[in-house]
């Protein structure tokens, strides 16, 4: 009977866990809709800002902006890693953190030092004893705001201008679907102007007011802010998608475990009943004899 009680207790425990995972899946699904809408709304603005900035940078004739200066002497790199503050979302945090580690290993001959700044607690917890860590921005990723992204961007820009590091890379999970998140690495700084195509050179000519240099001075920092904010939005949507998938898988595993435990319980109960009947029959026969 003690074995039957322990099995029954375990069945109740797994059922309780299944209720929690199902509830977490529903919450993640509700949050995913809002997060996905935010990502869809942010992408066109970020893309158009990048196009305007690139056109300005291509046609600039004066000295390059400080954010476009490339330094090659003993270069140091900064990685801005976007993860989440919470777990229970499968390999979402571990995969992006390992991608940053692989990047460091692959470029160990290119940089004299690589520092990791994390947005989200999980990335910091994963890497704090394994890599050189910089600032950790915890508590800003659950409800990302442009103000928080602008603050992070300003600190990154200040460090780049002060030559604390020479290259800045942004790692985040780009949202593709509920089942798919793409590990993405973008170079934030220095900003490179792509070569102007023949079609662009012969296309419409714009008159800028104020000057191109002044516009670049405004747009280049703005582009860093927008890139970090977009990465935060993408990461939040990816996190909810990953959690929704993980909780769905956990619920299915719990259902399968409940079925197996129920079968074991029924077999144990049947064996206990058979044993009791055998003892009763044996006792009755001994009395008759």
**Could you tell me the sign of the dihedral formed by the alpha carbons of 191, 196, 197, 203, in that order?**
positive
Q: Residue 180: CB partners within 8 Å, gap ≥ 6?
A: 241
In angstroms, the first-to-last Cα distance of the chain is: 31
Alpha-helical runs (H) found in the chain = 2-58, 92-106, 121-127, 146-161, 198-201, 212-288
Identify whether the C-beta of residue 83 lies closer than 8 Å to the C-beta of residue 120. yes
Q: How far is CA 121 from CA 118, 126, 147, 245, in A?
A: 7, 9, 19, 21
**Upper half-sphere CA count for residue 38 (Cβ side, 13 Å):** 21
Question: Cα–Cα distances in Å, from 133 out to 96, 99, 136?
Answer: 16, 16, 8
Query: Catalytic: which of 11, 89, 157, 232?
Result: 89
CA 39 to chain centroid: 14
- From 35, 56, 86, 99, select the one nearest 230 (Cα to Cα): 35
The verdict on whether 185 is a catalytic residue reads: no
Give backbone dihedrals phi and psi of 60, rounded to 5 degrees, phi first: -75, 135
Length of the chain: 289
Question: What is the set of active-site residues?
Answer: 89
């Amino acid at each position: 009977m003690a074995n039957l009680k322990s099995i029954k207790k375990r069945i109740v425990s797994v059922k309780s866990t299944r209720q929690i995972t199902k509830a977490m899946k529903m919450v993640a699904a509700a949050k995913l809709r809002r997060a996905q809408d935010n990502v869809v709304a942010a992408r066109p603005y970020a893309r158009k800002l990048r196009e305007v900035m690139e056109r300005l940078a291509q046609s600039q004739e004066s000295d390059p902006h400080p954010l476009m200066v490339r330094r090659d002497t003993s270069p140091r790199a900064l990685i801005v890693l976007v993860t989440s503050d919470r777990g229970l979302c499968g390999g979402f945090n571990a995969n992006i953190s390992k991608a940053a580690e692989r990047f460091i290993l692959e470029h160990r001959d290119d940089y004299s030092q690589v520092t990791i700044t994390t947005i989200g607690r999980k990335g910091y917890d994963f890497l704090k004893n394994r890599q050189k860590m910089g600032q950790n921005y915890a508590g800003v990723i659950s409800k990302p705001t442009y103000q928080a992204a602008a603050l992070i961007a300003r600190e990154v820009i200040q460090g780049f201008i002060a030559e604390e590091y020479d290259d800045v890379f942004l790692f985040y999970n780009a949202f593709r679907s509920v089942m798919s998140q793409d590990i993405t690495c973008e170079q934030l700084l220095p900003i490179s102007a792509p070569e102007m195509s023949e079609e662009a050179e012969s296309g419409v000519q714009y008159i800028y007011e104020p000057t191109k240099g002044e516009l670049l001075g405004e747009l280049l920092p703005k582009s860093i802010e927008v890139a970090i904010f977009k990465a935060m939005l993408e990461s939040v949507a990816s996190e909810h998608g990953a959690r929704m998938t993980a909780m769905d898988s956990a619920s299915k595993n719990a259902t399968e475990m409940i079925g197996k435990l129920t079968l074991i319980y029924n077999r144990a109960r049947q064996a206990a009943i058979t044993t009791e009947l055998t003892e009763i029959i044996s006792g009755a026969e001994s009395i008759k004899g």
